[in-house]
Structure 1
Amino acid sequence: MPDPRHSIPPAYGGVEPDAAWVEEIKRLAEARNATILAHNYQIPAIQDIADHTGDSLALSRIAAETDADEIIFCGVHFMAETAKILSPEKRVLIPDERAGCSLADSITADDLRAWKADYPDAVVVSYVNTTAEVKGLTDICCTSSNAVDVVRSIDPDRDVLFLPDQFLGAHVKRETGRDNIHIWAGECHVHAGINGSELTEQTEAHPEAELFIHPECGCATSALYLAGEGIVPEDRVKILSTGGMIDAARQSKSGQVLVATEVGMLHQLRQAAPEIDFRAVNEKAACPYMKMITPAALLRCLTEGRDEVFVAPDVAERARRSVERMIAIGNPGSGE
């Protein structure tokens, strides 16, 4: 499901994740005193070799607590930036610096400055899936699991600028009932491509299944409609962050779960609850940027010490404050 607005560069290849590769990755990581972090959307081989797997904020907080000299962040670029923001004294590397994000790219710092000028008294709430520069212009960050709580914490008479994901913003507006929330029209092209007709078709084919829906998905509204119409029992429809999906999987009594998010998530879900049949709502919902972190890219990173992620100290300081304000509100969740 390539994003038509972006040209996806070819990933580094030619290396198989065999036993020799595993041994060499572990040897290099130990020699560099490096910790390997892998996002839930990475390919299974990368998830399995990592010291920690999770969503971006959870991994960035782990990075801040580790004694390692280097953080190898297997994810997309904004995630490695977040790790650097929370761990300014550590060296942060991403195995392929070209691994971008269509959602983070949907709003620039200049875009946000112009939007803020239109609403000078508004509170800016940014999803963690944003660049460091955008976080640096933000009042409070949020995750998909705490976005509703963050917006509810804001004076009801203040305008809110919510960015960049329009589907998460619609979820927050629906839950808070706020009329003075203005939502940026950004999207993750992978999640936006998981549509309501696919969800309806899958629920008809699997009538007993639970639904795990990421709020970035274009089908989130359809899931709530199916529940509201009684087509799917309301208690089977769960709007969840990636971290929330893992927790829900461990507690679920269902035999089958339909999952609406990037397909890499299925690997972690199947490990968390191997007795459940997890199925993707859209099997083609694979992020090409996430899949740029290949076995060859990770080997290159650890062998050559590339690619290092830098965030200007003043930008990092401002961005850190927006994340810390979110944590101070409580219920920071784990991440996107």
Structure 2
Amino acid sequence: MNSPSDSANLKSAIRNLKSAAGAVILAHNYQVPDIYDVADFIGDSLELARQARTVRSRLIVFCGVRFMAETAKLVNPETRVVLAAPDAGCQMADMVTAEALRARKSELGDVTTVAYVNTPAEVKAESDICCTSANAVRVVKSLPADQRILFVPDRHLAAYVAREAGRPLLDSRLPIPDSRLSPAGIIPWEGFCYVHASFRAADVERARKEHPDAFVVVHPECPLEAIDAADAAASTSGMVRLAREHGAIVLGTEAGMCDRVRRDLPQVRCWPLRRSALCRNMKLTRLEDVQAALEGAMPEIDVSAEAAGRARRALDRMMEVPGR
């Protein structure tokens, strides 16, 4: 950990390098506060994708995980994109591959594939439309009700979306390729986020006892039992909006999200549902990594032209769905 003076010097150097390089720094909400301080924009996956799409700088330095940097490259192919921490992956994104998805689609026959943005570019390329936790319900509602939907890769988000969109949740093992014999609904992939999947109703009940005046909101990647016990489910951007409405809030997501709330809304009392709920990959990015990325020491994000074109279409379809 850097001393305060070292951090201040690094931040000053980063700002100078950023100006010289004509760069923009995008950071996910789960980054550490030091990264917030040098970022030009902080947000959730949907906000960052929209921001990346409009960037007119020569370089995007992304502080997050690989699939997010790939998404930035897909929506802004003419801009160089560098992931500040090249080893920052996502375990859930790795739970689905393009090869496995192609095989599953072949088994199911007539199916529409909705890919959570927490997927590799090659998986997005095999999908019909993408979604984020902020717009997943709207995306599914935008599809005809008589369609069968294969939702990859998060099974918990699939269950939440199915309920909120009024679509049946089907057996993930459904083998029937004949759409005449299989009802419309959502077929989940069996992936999960190890941070959010660990939350239970008991965590919410404990939080209510410890903070009886607090509003409890959890991420839709959580199991339904945690969602049902909470006051609301929301993406991280939604959590910030809810925090503005409540003087005290408990967040059932990556524990560092409270750092974001405290930064923007210092008057709000904020507690993580569980202090140990940390994403290892999101915490890999250091100020030194951002500096190195601006100095050209990190490899650029590259997506094959064949995959990029099809993945971009799935992302563009998502962007066209109305709503914030």
Same fold per superposition (TM over 0.5): yes
Q: Is the 8 A contact 1:124 1:160 kept in 2?
A: yes
1:3-18 alignment runs, 5 A limit = 18=7
Which protein has greater RCO, CA pairs closer than 8 Å, 6+ apart? 1
Deviations along 1:174-227, one digit per CA (max 9) or x if unpaired, are 123322210011111111122322222111222221012110123x43341x36
Seen in structure 2, the aligned counterparts of structure 1 residues 15 and 97 have a Cα distance that, compared at 3 Å, is farther
Q: Secondary structure at the residue paired with 1:141?
A: strand
Which residue identity does 2:243 align to in structure 1?
Answer: A
1:230-249 alignment runs, 5 A limit = 237-249=231-243
Alignment of 1:324 onto 2:316 = yes
Alignment of 1:255 onto 2:260 = no
Deviation of the 1:105 alpha carbon: 0.8
Deviations along 1:65-84, one digit per CA (max 9) or x if unpaired, are 12210000000000000000
Q: Is the 8 A contact 1:258 1:279 kept in 2?
A: yes
Sequence identity percentage: 41
Deviation of the 1:57 alpha carbon: 2.7
Give 2:129's aligned residue: 140
Seen in structure 2, the aligned counterparts of structure 1 residues 329 and 14 have a Cα distance that, compared at 3 Å, is closer
Instruction: Quote the Cα distance in structure 2 between the aligned partners of 1:52 and 1:178.
Output: 35
Give 1:19's aligned residue: 8
Q: Is the 8 A contact 1:127 1:163 kept in 2?
A: yes
Deviation of the 1:62 alpha carbon: 1.5
Deviation of the 1:14 alpha carbon: 6.9
Root-mean-square deviation over aligned CA pairs: 1.7
Deviation of the 1:129 alpha carbon: 1.2
Instruction: Quote the Cα distance in structure 1 between the aligned partners of 2:292 and 2:32.
Output: 17
Instruction: Quote the Cα distance in structure 2 between the aligned partners of 1:53 and 1:87.
Output: 18
Which residue identity does 2:58 align to in structure 1?
Answer: D
Give 2:24's aligned residue: 35
Give 1:196's aligned residue: 201
Which residue identity does 1:221 align to in structure 2?
Answer: E
Give 1:296's aligned residue: 288
Deviations along 1:150-174, one digit per CA (max 9) or x if unpaired, are 2122222221101111111110111
Instruction: Quote the Cα distance in structure 2 between the aligned partners of 1:26 and 1:153.
Output: 42
Seen in structure 2, the aligned counterparts of structure 1 residues 177 and 184 have a Cα distance that, compared at 3 Å, is same
Q: 2:54 aligns with which of 44, 47, 65?
A: 65
Instruction: Quote the Cα distance in structure 1 between the aligned partners of 2:17 and 2:90.
Output: 28
Seen in structure 2, the aligned counterparts of structure 1 residues 14 and 167 have a Cα distance that, compared at 3 Å, is same
Alignment of 1:275 onto 2:267 = yes
Deviation of the 1:111 alpha carbon: 1.3
Deviation of the 1:56 alpha carbon: 2.3
Q: Secondary structure at the residue paired with 2:99?
A: helix
Alignment of 1:152 onto 2:146 = no
Q: Secondary structure at the residue paired with 1:155?
A: coil
Q: Any stretches of 5+ residues in structure 2 without a counterpart?
A: 169-184
Instruction: Quote the Cα distance in structure 2 between the aligned partners of 1:296 and 1:145.
Output: 31
1:208-247 alignment runs, 5 A limit = 208-218=213-223, 220-224=224-228, 226=229, 237-247=231-241
Which residue identity does 2:165 align to in structure 1?
Answer: T
Instruction: Quote the Cα distance in structure 1 between the aligned partners of 2:199 and 2:299.
Output: 32
Alignment of 1:265 onto 2:230 = no
Seen in structure 2, the aligned counterparts of structure 1 residues 108 and 284 have a Cα distance that, compared at 3 Å, is same
Deviations along 1:215-257, one digit per CA (max 9) or x if unpaired, are 0123x43341x36xxxxxxxxx12111111112222x1x3311
Instruction: Quote the Cα distance in structure 2 between the aligned partners of 1:266 and 1:14.
Output: 21
Which residue identity does 1:212 align to in structure 2?
Answer: V
Deviations along 1:279-306, one digit per CA (max 9) or x if unpaired, are 0001011111011111221122222341
Alignment of 1:206 onto 2:198 = no
Give 1:74's aligned residue: 63
Q: Is the 8 A contact 1:249 1:272 kept in 2?
A: no
Tell me the TM-score normalised to structure 2 length.
0.90
Q: Is the 8 A contact 1:190 1:287 kept in 2?
A: yes
Q: Secondary structure at the residue paired with 1:134?
A: helix
Instruction: Quote the Cα distance in structure 2 between the aligned partners of 1:223 and 1:155.
Output: 26
Please say which of residues 193-202 and 32-41 is displaced more in the overlay: 193-202
Seen in structure 2, the aligned counterparts of structure 1 residues 97 and 170 have a Cα distance that, compared at 3 Å, is same
Q: Is the 8 A contact 1:123 1:161 kept in 2?
A: yes
Q: Secondary structure at the residue paired with 2:25?
A: strand
Which residue identity does 1:196 align to in structure 2?
Answer: A
Instruction: Quote the Cα distance in structure 2 between the aligned partners of 1:56 and 1:168.
Output: 15
Deviations along 1:11-53, one digit per CA (max 9) or x if unpaired, are xx77875221111111111111111111100011001111111
Q: Any stretches of 5+ residues in structure 1 without a counterpart?
A: 1-12, 228-236
Seen in structure 2, the aligned counterparts of structure 1 residues 66 and 177 have a Cα distance that, compared at 3 Å, is closer
Which residue identity does 1:207 align to in structure 2?
Answer: P
Which residue identity does 1:142 align to in structure 2?
Answer: C
Deviation of the 1:315 alpha carbon: 1.0
Q: Is the 8 A contact 1:148 1:176 kept in 2?
A: yes
- Shift >3 Å, 4+ stretches: 13-17
Give 2:191's aligned residue: 186
